[in-house]
Amino acid sequence: METETYKYKAFLSYSRKDNKLAKKLHKQLENYKIPKDLYEEYPNLPSKLFPTFWALSNSQSLI
């Protein structure tokens, strides 16, 4: 099975009225550090969810 390569880890979808909250969540997601104990079960996890962006077609996940 081939693995796809994405430019971003996730896409953040939000409405215009939630812009302030979306910016805060975006910053928190990009700075969130994956807990080390998860690496035993999932060794291929990235250390961070950076970069998270607004480009769905280049994103691995939709949030």
Alpha-carbon distance values, 45 to 16, 21, 36, 48, 56 (Å): 32, 26, 10, 8, 20
What mean pLDDT comes out for the span 47-51?
A: 71
pTM exceeds 0.75, yes or no: no
Q: So what's the pLDDT on residue 52?
A: 60
What's the confidence (pLDDT) of residue 60? 65
Average of per-residue pLDDT values in the chain: 74
Q: What is the pLDDT of residues 26-44, one digit of tens each?
A: 888 878 888 888 888 888 8
Query: Any idea where the domains of the chain sit in the sequence?
Result: 10-58
Q: Give residue 56's pLDDT.
A: 46
Closest by alpha carbon to 9, among 51, 56, 46?
A: 51
